[in-house]
Amino acid sequence: MEHMHVKGAHIFSHNLARLLNITPEQVRRDLMLIGLTGNHRKGYNIEALVGLIGKTIDSYDPQNIAIIGIGNLGRAVTAFIRKSGSRLRIVASFDIDPLKINHEIAGVHCYPVSDIEKMIKKLDISIAILTVPPDTARSIAGILTDSGIKGILNLTSVHLDLPEHIYLKDYDIITSLEEIGFFIKSRG
């Protein structure tokens, strides 16, 4: 990839997609969202690409996050985010377990689920990470929708239908592992 450092060098969306393990369409859509367009014959100017991504990332104010369901997965995700050096800040967790409520779990204060709406507004939380049991995922997502949350990372296996103004990212670990297993098996 040394050619990428040459002034005026370009890269195509399919090359970026392969590096990121996503589709070229996702690359083009995401780059369009930050205002970068490529050239069909040459691709994206690498210098402009790196500059705009850096400017976009640096311009973001830190965002406040809530973990909904502070069980094993919730605690692991909290620890991972805190060690990542990201601009994302976990400022609250929510749970129904009376032994967790009003205690600090994984370095984050745990509130009752009934306080979600109030605390999301009070703490200016824009992102929720959903790590609740599947049977409660839809009802909690409804509470989050009513609370004014802007984005949800859904780590449950439940498909959520949310209003368009809420950015939803689903990540089902089991489905991803099964997909990897299928491709490994099918290759021989």
Closest CA to 50 of 4, 2, 86: 4
Amino acid letter, 92: A
Q: Is 182 within a domain?
A: no
Q: Tell me, what's the pLDDT at 44?
A: 87
Instruction: Please work out, in degrees rounded to the nearest 5, the angle formed at the alpha carbon of residue 16 by the alpha carbons of 12 and 18.
Output: 115
Q: How confident is the model at residue 35 (pLDDT cuts 50, 70, 90)?
A: confident
CATH of the domain at 155: 3.40.50.720
Q: Is 188 within a domain?
A: no
For the sheet with 88-95, list strands across it. Answer: 104-105, 108-112, 88-95, 63-68, 125-130, 151-154, 167-170
Residue with tokens 């599947």: 134
Question: Per-residue pLDDT averaged across 118-126, rounded?
Answer: 97
Q: Is 183 within a domain?
A: no
Q: Are residues 79 and 155 in the same domain?
A: yes
Q: Tell me, what's the pLDDT at 160?
A: 95
pTM over cut 0.75: no
How many domains does the structure of the chain reveal? 2
Q: Are residues 100 and 152 in the same domain?
A: yes
Question: Per-residue pLDDT averaged across 122-127, rounded?
Answer: 96
Q: Are residues 165 and 74 in the same domain?
A: yes
Q: Tell me, what's the pLDDT at 4?
A: 44
Residue 41, pLDDT > 70, answer yes
Q: How confident is the model at residue 7 (pLDDT cuts 50, 70, 90)?
A: low
**Percent of the chain beyond pLDDT 90?**
52
Residue count of the chain: 188
Q: Are residues 34 and 95 in the same domain?
A: no
Q: Half-sphere exposure (CA, 13 Å, Cβ side) for 1?
A: 7
172, burial (CB in 10 Å: exposed 0-12, middle 13-18, buried 19+): middle
Q: Is 128 within a domain?
A: yes
Q: Is 179 within a domain?
A: no
Q: Are residues 127 and 148 in the same domain?
A: yes
Range of the domain at 34: 2-57
Q: Are residues 122 and 139 in the same domain?
A: yes
Give, for 105, the enclosing helix (H) or strand (E): strand 104-105
Q: Are residues 25 and 67 in the same domain?
A: no
Averaged confidence pLDDT in the chain:
88
Q: Is 88 within a domain?
A: yes
Tell me which long-range contacts 115-122 makes (C-beta under 8 A, separation of at least 24): 116/66, 116/68, 116/140, 116/143, 116/144, 116/147, 117/143, 117/146, 117/147, 117/148, 119/66, 119/92, 119/94, 120/66, 120/144, 120/147, 120/148, 120/149, 121/147, 121/148
